[in-house]
A = this chain, B = another copy of it.
Amino acid sequence: MKLQHVPTKADILEAHNIIRSHIHHTPLLKSEMMNQMAGASLWFKCENFQKAGAFKSRGALHAMLQMTAEERSKGVATHSSGNHAGALARAAKVLGTAAHIVMPNNAPSAKVSAVRQYGGNITFCEPTLSAREQTLGEIVEKTRAEEVHPYNNYDIIAGQATAALEAINDLPDPDFILCPVGGGGLLSGTLLSAKYFSPKTRVIACEPLGANDTWKSFQTKSLIPSQNPKTIADGLLTSLGSRTFPIIMENVYDVITVEEEEILRAMKLVWERMKIIIEPSSAVPVAVALQNHDFLKNRKIVIIISGGNVDLNKLPWYA
C-alpha cells in the first residue's frame, strides 16, 4: 500500500488518470419503467460492464500501478473467493506480472475459472479465515509478492472512487448516490468522490439485512463485524475494515438495509426490464430505490451497479 492517508481529491484524480487506459468508462443507463416503479430518476452506473465484470478492476489496477516496476515484477498476492481475485489476476496479466490467489476450497467454480482464465496462480486452502491468512503469509514469504487487500487499503479505495467520479462527471449534481457495502472499499471511495466533486450529493450505504455490520456500526458508532452473515449478495458478506469504517462514519448520510426477497426481486426486475445482468450485491441499492422512501421521491439518483458476475447455472430463483 503506497498511500498512507485517506485519499485526497488529487489522489483520486491521479488514480483515474493512471488507470483509465486499462479500464472501461462504463455507461450510466436509465429505464423509464424502473423510474416509474421507483418514483424517481435513476441512473445506473454499470460496473457490471467493467473489465473482469466488476468495479474491483479499478482498485486492483490502481494498487498495482502505484508500485515501482521492480516491486511489481515480484507479483501480487491476495486471498479472495470473489471479484477481487479475478480483478487482481486480470490486472497482473495486463501489467505482465504474476498474481498469487489463495482461494478457499469451496469457492464457486465460476470465480475459480475467472482467475484461471487470467492466468492467476491459485492455491486452495481450507475455507477459514485463519487458513486463508496463513496460506497467503507462506506465499508472500516465498515469492516476495506484495499483498493487495481487497478493501482495507487506501490505494484500493482511491481506485474504487473513480467509478463515482465518472458518474458525477457524466451526470452533474445527483441528489443521491446509492452504493452497496461489504468491506466498504467501494463505499469509501464513493463517499470521498462525492465529498470532493459533488458536495451536495448524499451517499446512502445499502446493505443486506443478513450482513448488516455497517448498519450496526453506524448505529452504535463503533466497528461491529458481522457474526455468521448470510445473504445471497455474496459480495457483501465481508465486514468493514479499520480504514473504511472511519471514512464511512464521517461521510455517509444513512445506512439502509433490505431483506433477501427484496434483493431477489430487484435483481430479477433489472434483468427483465433493463436486459442487463447484475449480481445480487448490485441489486441491493436497487432494492433500496424500490422501497419508495419519501425523501428519494422525484430525486436524481445514481445507483452503483457493482458487478455482473453470477453463475448462470446456479441462479437464485432456481434454488
Contact = CB atoms under 8 A, between A and B. Distances in A.
A271 B312 contact: yes
A308 B318 CA distance: 20
A144 B36 CA distance: 33
Which of A27, A268, A275 lies at the interface centre, i.e. has the most chain B CB atoms within 10 A of its CB?
A275
Interface string A307-318: 010001101011
Say how many copies of this protein the assembly contains: 2
Nearest to A117: B33
B275 A312 contact: no
A223 interface: no
Contacts of A268: 312
Contacts of A276: 275-277
Interface in A254-273: 268, 271-272
A278 B276 CA distance: 9
Interface residues of A, number: 18
A307 to B, nearest CB: 9
A154 interface: no
B275 A275 contact: no
Interface in A27-84: 27, 48-49, 53
Nearest to A110: B272
A318 B317 CA distance: 12
A312 B308 contact: no
Interface in A267-319: 268, 271-272, 274-278, 308, 312-313, 315, 317-318
A183 to B, nearest CB: 23
Contacts of A308: 275
Contacts of A48: 275
15 contacts: A49-B274, A49-B275, A271-B277, A271-B312, A272-B312, A275-B276, A275-B278, A275-B308, A276-B276, A276-B277, A277-B277, A312-B315, A312-B317, A315-B315, A318-B318
Interface of A: 27, 48-49, 53, 268, 271-272, 274-278, 308, 312-313, 315, 317-318
Given A49-B274, A277-B277, A313-B317, 15 more contacts: A27-B27, A49-B275, A53-B275, A268-B312, A271-B277, A271-B312, A272-B312, A275-B277, A275-B278, A275-B308, A276-B276, A312-B315, A312-B317, A315-B315, A318-B318
